[in-house]
């Protein structure tokens, strides 16, 4: 299975020295649940053509410090690729910014959260649609965002929610899945961001509350298992079709 990670940002040098790139973090998180996947990486912020959908079995759109409403030069081609993936029914997942730009591309609306920064360990409750991927019990993950989806794209279903992120995950009537939280994050990713050059953008009181939330278990493996099932479904359908 060929999964292309569409990298929408790069961490600062100190963070990267400790944790690798954002694509590295995603591969480490998802690979145990999807061992058949071979990951490639494409920097969508760099000039040049984007990957050919026909050459991949799935895509993953990472987070970014940019906002959908920034309308940077690289975002238009990324939206065009998302439309192409929808039309070809190539599976795509999005995380945080990836969740937001997918929602915007498919007809939803993204704004700054009325709650301000949402950072730290938070629990989400799966909806009935989300329970098919993750079961019906709450799960814990880390968040780091101040933008969020505020209006659903046509046909999209909410997969998970909490009071701060009522649209915490989305599924579409084509092979697309996204979440607002960061299942690939570990507590050190949050604290090292605070201590890096981007730490000043978050008020000390918000940082303090986020740090206080970090102790406790995370359900990254459970979330990854659901995402792996999502990627496998089209492959299984293709095998069945070929066998028939």
pLDDT for the residue 115? 85
The total domain count for the chain is 1
Q: Is 160 exposed, middle or buried (0-12, 13-18, 19+ CB in 10 A)?
A: buried
Contacting residues for 69 by C-beta, under 8 A, at least 6 apart: 110, 111, 147
- Tell me the per-residue pLDDT of 160-200, one tens digit each, with 9 for 90 and over: 999 999 999 999 999 999 999 999 999 999 999 999 998 88
Asked if pLDDT for residue 244 goes beyond 50, the answer is no
Domain residues for 82?
A: 2-243
pLDDT for the residue 236? 52
> At CA 208, angle to CA 207 and CA 213, rounded to 5?
95
Whether the CB-CB separation of 151 and 190 falls below 8 Å is answered with no
- Tell me the per-residue pLDDT of 50-71, one tens digit each, with 9 for 90 and over: 999 999 999 999 999 999 999 9
The mean predicted confidence, pLDDT, of the chain is: 94
112 CB-side CA count, 13 A: 6
Element (H, E) at 94: strand 92-95
CATH number at residue 117: 3.40.50.880
Q: What percent of the chain has pLDDT over 70?
A: 96
- Tell me the per-residue pLDDT of 94-146, one tens digit each, with 9 for 90 and over: 999 999 999 999 999 999 988 899 999 999 999 999 999 999 999 999 999 99
């Amino acid at each position: 299975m060929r999964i292309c990670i569409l990298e929408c940002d790069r961490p600062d040098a100190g963070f990267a020295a400790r944790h690798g790139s954002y694509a590295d973090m995603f591969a480490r998180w998802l690979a145990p649940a999807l061992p058949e996947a071979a990951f490639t990486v494409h920097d969508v912020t760099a000039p040049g053509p984007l990957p050919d959908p026909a050459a991949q079995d799935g895509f993953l759109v990472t987070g970014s410090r940019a906002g959908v409403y920034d309308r940077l030069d690289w975002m238009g081609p990324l939206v065009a690729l998302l439309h192409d993936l929808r039309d070809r029914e190539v599976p795509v997942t999005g995380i945080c910014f990836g969740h937001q730009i997918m929602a915007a591309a498919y007809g939803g609306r993204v704004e700054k959260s009325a709650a301000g920064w949402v950072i730290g360990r938070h629990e989400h409750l799966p909806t009935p649609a989300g329970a098919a991927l993750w079961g019906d019990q709450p799960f814990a993950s880390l968040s780091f965002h101040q933008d969020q989806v505020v209006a659903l794209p046509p046909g999209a279903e909410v997969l998970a929610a909490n009071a701060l992120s009522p649209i915490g995950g989305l599924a579409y009537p084509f092979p697309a899945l996204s979440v607002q939280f960061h299942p690939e994050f570990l507590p050190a990713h949050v604290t090292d961001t605070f201590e890096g050059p981007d730490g000043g953008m978050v008020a000390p009181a918000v940082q303090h509350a986020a740090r206080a939330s970090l102790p406790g278990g995370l359900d990254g493996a459970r979330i990854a298992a659901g995402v792996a099932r999502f990627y496998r479904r089209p492959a299984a359908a293709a095998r069945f079709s070929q066998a028939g």
